[in-house]
Structure 1
Amino acid sequence: MSSSADSLLDWMTHQCAFSAKAMLRAISATQLVKIRAHLGQQIRPAHGSVLASPQIAAYDPDPDYFFHWLRDSAIVIDALRVLYEDRTLGPDALDHISDFMQFSLDLCRLDGRVVAERGDFRRNVSADFLRHVRSEKELRQVTGDRVLGEARYNPDGTLDILGWARPQNDGPALRALTALRVWRLEAFRQRADLGIAEQLLEADLDYTFNHWRDACFDLWEEIRGHHYYTRLLQLAALVEGAEWLEQKGDAARSRAFRAAADDISRCLDAHLDKDASYYRAFLPDFVQPSTIPDARRLDIAVVLGVIHAARSGDRHGVLDPKVLSTLLRLESLFTSEYKINQDRAADWGPAMGRYCGDVYFSGGAYYFSTLGVAQFYYLLAESLVRLAAIEISLEQREMFTGMFDAMPGQAFNTPGGRRKLAEAALKRGDMFMATVRIYTPPTGELAEQFSRDDGVQTSAKNLAWSYAAFITAHAGRNAASRAIGNCC
């Protein structure tokens, strides 16, 4: 290994340790208090809550991310599990996970009718901010399982009274996947109150089963429709949930979940564009047809869905040629769109954003997008050496030849060919890690974005998702490296 590679690996190890500490500051941050004077609120996070960012801000200019998002919190807790499994963290990690499950279960029991009937939730809101507050009618509808479509909550365990993009149906599915992965930890089952975890799983899986057909907003909270990211997480949650139910002896519900997963799989196939060359991130809600241009449908959300669902096999996973084609299109898009990608070094990957025409804050590169691509290639490397039973198709072969330089033209399906292919995938992942390194300040702090023009950090500071993405990408590299070392 070259000294430059050694240097990158050393930095990754150091940055992972920093990311773990920084991410932990967002979990059960009971020492913090957020004052929202315009809403008459004083918010102190409860045990088990996960802040999207612990930064105290109010769009001044940094955004107010002092909320517990279902999606972000599930991603963070999954990274916490990873840190426990690789022994970076000890038993305290399991305590945090138990607190998270209790807090999450309490959220499932919220009832908007109670807030509406109390009638005072608007009383302390400043007059010029009332237009941003939800109506009593809307809050009265947040009852039963509808509370799981809320997207975000105040970290003190109360409903968010601000108008927002609702419902969002990826959160319960993603949280179910996180809980199922934790459930497999023997140490967790030995020490945790499994009744709480079981109730949370039941709630999230039932919501996913009952609402997967519904149109909802995407993970960027901008477009109402049917989304590849959401559907793929729902598919994965129902498949893994069916296995869990089967182990519990609930054969009937297990069969129902599997049947729904088969239906979702067919819906996912409909996301292929007309030339069958990439997966479109969303399909319109046919009640409210979309006028959004096709270019907007090319979105990093597809790649993030694949790594968050973590499905094996060659459909809707890292080995799917259409997913690979989607990723290559995204790399080409951001290479051409971002100034910081124009003159990058040959051993850096392009900094990755969300989609064409993004205007949120700098509309630039995201740490979790760039790290997500690195993780994708590490998962691909591991899959290539572990899944020896899967033959590499002609279509995949053509994709790999275009993605990796200096690949041998012969036998991809031989052990030696697979190893070389896996090594090339790992190296490609390192290229994106090298890009993250260039745009990470000496402090190690990771914001949400870094500018497309000069790489300066923008948007929310200390984004918990950014740190979680680094942790899971680093773990993915370690797993891929071990798999390659044990291969052949």
Structure 2
Amino acid sequence: MLTSISPLSIVKHRAGFGQTIRPIAGAIVASPVLGNYDPDPDYFFHWFRDSAVVIDALRLLYAERRIGDEALRHLRDFTRFSLAVNGLDGRTVAAVQDRKARVAPELLQYLREDDDLSGAYADAVVAETRVNPDGTLDALRWARPQHDGPPLRALALLRWVAGGHLDAALQAEVAPLIRFDIGFTLRHWREPSYDIWEEELGHHYYTLRVAGAALAEGAAWLEGLGDSAQAQRCREESQAVRQLLDGYWADERGEGEGDHDAARGYYRSRVLADGQPSPKALDIAVILSAIHSLGTEPAHGPADPRMQATLARLDALFDAAYPINHGRAAGRGAAMGRYAGDVYCSGGAYYFSTLGAAEFCFRAAAMAGHTSGKTGSDARHSAQWIERGDAYLATVRAYTPASGDLSEQFDQHSGAQTSAKQLAWSHAAFISCVSARRIAAAACQAPR
């Protein structure tokens, strides 16, 4: 993962687009391994979402003393890079006369039109999904806008602050970025955007969940700074998000079935902008939202029975769909993907999906361990959650090479690594999963 942070020694040539990308300090690329859809995709971009997940995992490494003060330098560079990017203006880029002349004719179809690029300024910049790691706007056509990046980044930075890891000088640098991200979330959370996979425009459970969490956590932070008016607004909007999320439950109880069957359903991942149903309604993104948001309330978190029911539905889906899950060894959980019918790259299992399922189980175990009466049945319940998480981890271990490198996917037939190599998000997911395992073991007094 660390090789993706400030990868200054790597130069990316997009010859067909007349681009040479030299990263600057603070950029976090999704993958440090250069690809050009040959077959590996080109992931040499600073994604707002991915970079927030990585900077949060860096915090865990620092808190657990697995990395030293270089983590603080990375955080400072990341903050400065992010604030600088906020000031980009696509209107100046679109005005360059020979912009299209430098692009190979067969690639012009992938280049953004001037009017699209001209709209990338002010708040719209951080809704761009991604930028180049040299701090310039992405000139390629992509799914925009995307609104999960700012709240995720706010959550990551707020955790750095809450952990007491930052001196006054670094807190002063981080604070304007947190304020910006909270302000963006307040202004835009009600608007449609593209989903976490950058495929469908609409309103998405994941985006709403992290927005609500950022507003709730941001309210407490703002209150501590004496900004009571903004804190109150954040609390009110966070509650509005929560009410919307309740409506994403798809109740599949049959006629005449009672409340004891309430778990027979799942949280839908999206409501499309055109109002049409989506085949991606059952999506691992819902589970990822629970571990990326992490709050103290049980609703919409790992302790929520409805969220647990959603995981069970996803487990059954991928258990049946992926050949590598059939006849698997004892003690292994299902390799998890994104949604039914996924065709991206190998359309296979994802490391961060399977690790996310494991972390969800560990978080559920920890919450049960903290709140239970420590009876025999309570202890068994917590231990069962840890066992389920360990089963998912065993599957990840089985498909991880000796090098420890984690790509984006592993093939649903062979288990071979596919898609982007050394995906930073995959490694970050492993870090947060193992950290959650330690917390669960301590809370439940289970063996490590």
Same fold (TM over 0.5): yes
Q: Distance in 2 between matches of 1:467 and 1:453?
A: 22
The yes-or-no answer on 1:197 pairing with 2:174 is: yes
Residues 105, 196 of structure 1: 8 Å contact kept: no
Q: Distance in 2 between matches of 1:152 and 1:29?
A: 16
The yes-or-no answer on 1:416 pairing with 2:404 is: no
Helix, strand or coil at the partner of 1:273 = strand
For structure 1, the residue ranges without an aligned partner over 5 or more in a row are 1-22, 389-412
The yes-or-no answer on 1:222 pairing with 2:199 is: yes
Alpha-carbon offset, residue 428 of structure 1: 1.1
Alpha-carbon offset, residue 342 of structure 1: 0.6
Alpha-carbon offset, residue 114 of structure 1: 1.5
Matches within 5 A, 1:84-233: 84-190=62-168, 192-233=169-210
Q: Distance in 1 between matches of 2:446 and 2:428?
A: 27
Alpha-carbon offset, residue 58 of structure 1: 0.2
Match of 2:11 among 33, 42, 48: 33
Helix, strand or coil at the partner of 1:134 = coil
Q: Which residue of 1 aligns with 2:272?
A: 284
Q: Which residue of 1 aligns with 2:258?
A: none
Bigger Cα displacement from structure 2, 193-202 vs 433-442: 193-202
Alpha-carbon offset, residue 255 of structure 1: 0.8
Which one-letter code corresponds to 1:194 in the other structure?
Answer: Q
Alpha-carbon offset, residue 291 of structure 1: 5.0
Matches within 5 A, 1:10-89: 23-89=1-67
Give the paired residue count.
436
CA displacement, residues 455-477 of structure 1 (integer Å, 9 cap, x when unaligned)? 01110010000000001101111
For structure 2, the residue ranges without an aligned partner over 5 or more in a row are 253-261
Q: Which residue of 2 aligns with 1:320?
A: 304
Q: Distance in 1 between matches of 2:347 and 2:312?
A: 20
Q: Which residue of 2 aligns with 1:367?
A: 351
Which one-letter code corresponds to 1:259 in the other structure?
Answer: E
Which one-letter code corresponds to 1:463 in the other structure?
Answer: L
Alpha-carbon offset, residue 123 of structure 1: 2.6
Q: Distance in 1 between matches of 2:376 and 2:231?
A: 40
CA displacement, residues 16-64 of structure 1 (integer Å, 9 cap, x when unaligned)? xxxxxxx100000000000000110000111000010001110011000
Matches within 5 A, 1:263-278: 263-275=240-252, 277-278=265-266
Report sequence identity in percent.
Answer: 47
Residues 270, 278 of structure 2: 8 Å contact kept: no
Residues 235, 261 of structure 1: 8 Å contact kept: yes
The yes-or-no answer on 1:249 pairing with 2:226 is: yes
| Alignment RMSD | 1.4
Q: Distance in 2 between matches of 1:309 and 1:329?
A: 21
Q: Distance in 2 between matches of 1:169 and 1:223?
A: 13
Q: With structure 2 as the length reference, what TM-score do the two structures score?
A: 0.95
Q: Distance in 2 between matches of 1:424 and 1:78?
A: 28
Q: Which residue of 2 aligns with 1:304?
A: 288
Q: Distance in 1 between matches of 2:167 and 2:208?
A: 29
Q: Which residue of 2 aligns with 1:17?
A: none
Alpha-carbon offset, residue 308 of structure 1: 0.3
Helix, strand or coil at the partner of 1:42 = strand
Q: Distance in 2 between matches of 1:438 and 1:140?
A: 48
Residues 228, 281 of structure 1: 8 Å contact kept: yes
Q: Distance in 2 between matches of 1:189 and 1:241?
A: 19
The yes-or-no answer on 1:384 pairing with 2:368 is: yes
Helix, strand or coil at the partner of 1:35 = strand
Residues 356, 429 of structure 2: 8 Å contact kept: yes
Q: Which residue of 1 aligns with 2:410?
A: 450
Alpha-carbon offset, residue 486 of structure 1: 8.8
Which one-letter code corresponds to 1:342 in the other structure?
Answer: H
Residues 21, 133 of structure 2: 8 Å contact kept: yes
Q: Distance in 1 between matches of 2:97 and 2:163?
A: 45
Alpha-carbon offset, residue 331 of structure 1: 0.3
Residues 348, 434 of structure 1: 8 Å contact kept: yes
Q: With structure 1 as the length reference, what TM-score do the two structures score?
A: 0.87
Helix, strand or coil at the partner of 1:221 = coil
Q: Distance in 1 between matches of 2:419 and 2:269?
A: 23
Which one-letter code corresponds to 2:337 in the other structure?
Answer: G
Residues 303, 323 of structure 1: 8 Å contact kept: yes
Residues 383, 446 of structure 2: 8 Å contact kept: no
Q: Distance in 1 between matches of 2:368 and 2:100?
A: 56
Which one-letter code corresponds to 1:90 in the other structure?
Answer: G
Which one-letter code corresponds to 1:282 in the other structure?
Answer: R
Alpha-carbon offset, residue 169 of structure 1: 0.3
Q: Distance in 2 between matches of 1:120 and 1:274?
A: 55
Match of 2:313 among 322, 329, 332: 329
Q: Distance in 2 between matches of 1:134 and 1:417?
A: 59
Q: Which residue of 1 aligns with 2:256?
A: none
Q: Distance in 2 between matches of 1:381 and 1:187?
A: 27
Alpha-carbon offset, residue 444 of structure 1: 1.1
Residues 439, 450 of structure 1: 8 Å contact kept: yes
Which one-letter code corresponds to 2:267 in the other structure?
Answer: Y
Helix, strand or coil at the partner of 2:287 = helix
Alpha-carbon offset, residue 143 of structure 1: 1.5
Residues 53, 461 of structure 1: 8 Å contact kept: yes
Which one-letter code corresponds to 1:300 in the other structure?
Answer: I
The yes-or-no answer on 1:480 pairing with 2:445 is: no
Q: Distance in 2 between matches of 1:486 and 1:95?
A: 36
Bigger Cα displacement from structure 2, 438-447 vs 331-340: 438-447
Q: Cα distance 1:198–1:121, how it changes in 2: closer, same or farther (>3 A)?
A: farther
Q: Which residue of 2 aligns with 1:9?
A: none
Helix, strand or coil at the partner of 1:283 = strand
Alpha-carbon offset, residue 184 of structure 1: 1.7
Which one-letter code corresponds to 2:276 in the other structure?
Answer: S
Residues 17, 104 of structure 2: 8 Å contact kept: yes
Bigger Cα displacement from structure 2, 120-129 vs 441-450: 120-129
